[in-house]
Structure 1
Amino acid sequence: MYFDGAARRDGAGAGIVFLSPEGHVLRYSFVLTELCSNNVAEYQALILGLQMAIKIGVKDVDIYGDSLLVVNQVLDEFEVEKDDLIPYHQHAIMLLNKLDYVHIGHLPRSANKMADALANLAATLALGAEEVTIIPVYNRWVVPPLEGGEITESSNMISVYQVDNDVWRQPIINFLEH
C-alpha cells in the first residue's frame, strides 16, 4: 500500500494505491472534507488506507509513504510532539495492531508518484461532502507520427462534429471556441 496526503489553502486530499501480489493496481483518491495541515492529511491517507485494507480482509501489508514524519512516528522512531497529531497517531496504531504482519517504510516522493498525484488531484477538486466523481485516465498520443519525415496532406485535416448542448463536451467546446 502506498499513501500520500496533500493539503492546500482551499482543500485537502488523500491518495492510496494498493498493489496486489498478482500485480493488480487499485487506486483511490479522497477529498478530505476539512482543511488541515499536510501532516494531518498524511495521517488521514494512512488511516483511510488501513481501514480499506482491514475491510477487504488484508492481513499482511507493506506500507510506504513519503512523509518522513508520519512514517517515523508510526515506527516510534520520532515522538509525536504536536497535540493535533496525537489522535491520528493513536488511531493509526490501533488499526495497525489489527493486522498480522506490517512493514512500514519511507520512500522519496519521486517513488510515490501515483499516490502523490491522487492526493493532489483530490486536494484540487471541489466536491460536496457526499459527492463522488470518477475520473478515468487514459494513455494517448494525439499527434500521428510523420511518415518518412514529411507532412502529408491528411495530417492537416480537421474533423468537426456537431455536438448536442447537453453533452459533457459542450462546455469544453465553448471554451475553445470563445
Structure 2
Amino acid sequence: MAINMKITTLELYGDSKLIINQLLTEYEVRKDDLIPYFRLATQLLQKFEAVTLEHVPRKENQMADALANLASSMALGEDKVANVPVCQRWEISLITEMLLDDTNIISVLPVYTEDWRQPLIDYLEYGKLPDDPRHRSEIHQRAPCFLYYKGTLYQRSSE
C-alpha cells in the first residue's frame, strides 16, 4: 500500500527482534521456510528511498502482540488450507506476483453482511452520513481514525 501511495520514506516497527535484525542483515535467516518472506520483504524495502526498522518489545506494544498471537495461531502445514471469513470489503490482498512458489498462502474470502464498518466506508468514500442523528454524529467523530484506500478500510495508527 505504501508503494502504491508513492511513499518514499518508511518507518517500520516490529515486535520480533529476530525479524528486525534479519531485515537489518545483522542476523542471518536460517529457517528455510522464512527465506521466501525475507526475500519478498527485502525486495519491497528496496523500493523506498529511506527505511527505518525499529524493534518494539511486545510488553510495550500490546496491539502488535495480539496480532502476532493471531498470526501464529493460524499457522498451517503445507497440505492444509484455511478459509477465513472477513466482513464485507475487508480482504487481505497478497502481492501474488512477488510471492515465490515455496511461500504458504492463506486464502481470505469476504462475507457479504452489513456491519459497523459500512457506514464509515460510505462516509469516507461518498460523504454519505446515516439518517439517524446519533449515528451521524458517531460516524463524523470516528471517521478521522480511519482511511479508506482501494476498497479496504484501515484504522489509522496513533503513532
TM-score, normalising length from structure 2?
0.45
Please say which structure displays the higher CA radius of gyration. 1
TM-score (norm 1): 0.41
